[in-house]
Amino acid sequence: MIHPTAIVDPETEIGSEVKIGPYSIIGKHVSIGSGTVIGSHVVIESDVTIGPDCQIFQYAAIGAPPQSLKYKGERTYIKIGRGTIIREFVTIHRGTEFGGGITDIGEECFLMAYTHIAHDCIIGRKVVMSNNATLGGHITIGEHATIGGLVAIHQFVKVGDHAFVGGKSAVVKDIPPFVIAAGDRAKLHGLNIVGLKRQGFSSKTLSELKKVYRIVFRIGITLNEAIERVTAEVEQLPEVINFIEFIKSSERGITR
């Protein structure tokens, strides 16, 4: 159902049982998956693909050109995964040609009011961004990560799977998976034990991750030495490998 006051480009691809509310504007080259509900006064500018069963609340603005001085009008894109909820006044900008060309939001994310996702960000599945959380360009957020309210994350930072970033934090370096980080500038505060238990991680996995965290961050050795010790002393569970590979691949440096 499309409200008669909505303005929808005639070439928009609209799935079954889609609802578009009053005064919303849907631009060119937009695809809307089945069962998606778009509220009133939403603006979706161009080159946006929205998966099925999403909810986009009033006054969200999606698909505007990136806020980048290097952007010269190239055609770039946004992809939003199935079941994602986008609350009031959220802003999501298209990618840049030099940054990969796409801003990609995973399935079943929950983007609370006034959050901002800048160009070329890659957001994993089931990410939660609380009110007023802000991502600079080229940021990667891992699956099941939670970003607290009023958090600001510097461009090119990576946040690992299942990490929790506390409210009002300023994040300028990479945050490993499975940890809690908070503060200005953000520092680590241990493993995200509560979140990991809620996601069903086993006692054995938690025990091995605690060993990794202690070796890497608590005994005062270099990262290279810590990686060697983890490889030799800790069972190489998938989560342990994820943790260490994240650290090894970091380009901005690791929050500690």
CATH number, domain at 210? 1.20.1180.10
The answer as to whether 254 is a domain residue is no
189 is catalytic: no
Instruction: Give the count of alpha carbons within 13 A of 11, CB side only.
Output: 7
Q: What is the pLDDT of residue 209?
A: 98
Among 90, 111, 138, the domain-final residue is: 138
DSSP bridge pairs for 31? 13, 49
Q: Select from 53, 46, 37, 39 the least CA-distant residue to 5.
A: 39
Side chain identity, residue 208: E
Round to whole Å and give the CA distance between 155 and 171: 9
137 is catalytic: yes
119 is catalytic: yes
The reply to whether omega before 185 is within 30° of 0 (cis) is: yes
Q: What is the pLDDT of residue 103?
A: 98
The answer as to whether 208 is a domain residue is yes
The answer as to whether 85 is a domain residue is yes
Residue 118 sits in a domain whose CATH number is 2.160.10.10
Q: What is the pLDDT of residue 198?
A: 96
The answer as to whether 185 is a domain residue is no
φ/ψ of 251, rounded to 5, equals -105, -30
* Domain co-membership, 204 together with 134: no
* Domain co-membership, 131 together with 38: yes
Q: Per the residue annotation, which of 137, 142, 160, 195 is the catalytic one?
A: 137
The answer as to whether 39 is a domain residue is yes
Q: What is the pLDDT of residue 116?
A: 98
The model's pTM is 0.96
* Domain co-membership, 130 together with 210: no
The answer as to whether 221 is a domain residue is yes
* Domain co-membership, 43 together with 112: yes
Among 115, 138, 161, the domain-final residue is: 138
Q: What is the pLDDT of residue 222?
A: 93
* Domain co-membership, 131 together with 11: yes
The answer as to whether 17 is a domain residue is yes
Among 138, 154, 170, the domain-final residue is: 138
Q: What is the pLDDT of residue 13?
A: 98
* Domain co-membership, 20 together with 103: yes
Q: Per the residue annotation, which of 119, 138, 144, 162 is the catalytic one?
A: 119
Q: Per the residue annotation, which of 120, 136, 142, 195 is the catalytic one?
A: 120
The answer as to whether 182 is a domain residue is no
* Domain co-membership, 11 together with 124: yes
Helix, strand, coil distribution of the chain in percent, nearest 5: 20, 30, 50
Q: How many domains does the chain have?
A: 2
Q: What is the pLDDT of residue 54?
A: 99
Round to whole Å and give the CA distance between 121 and 135: 8
Which residues span the domain enclosing 92? 7-138
Q: What is the mean pLDDT of each run of 10 residues along the chain (256 residues)?
A: 97 98 98 98 98 98 97 97 98 96 98 98 98 98 98 98 98 98 97 97 98 96 95 97 97 96
Q: What is the pLDDT of residue 225?
A: 96
* Domain co-membership, 104 together with 206: no
* Domain co-membership, 108 together with 30: yes
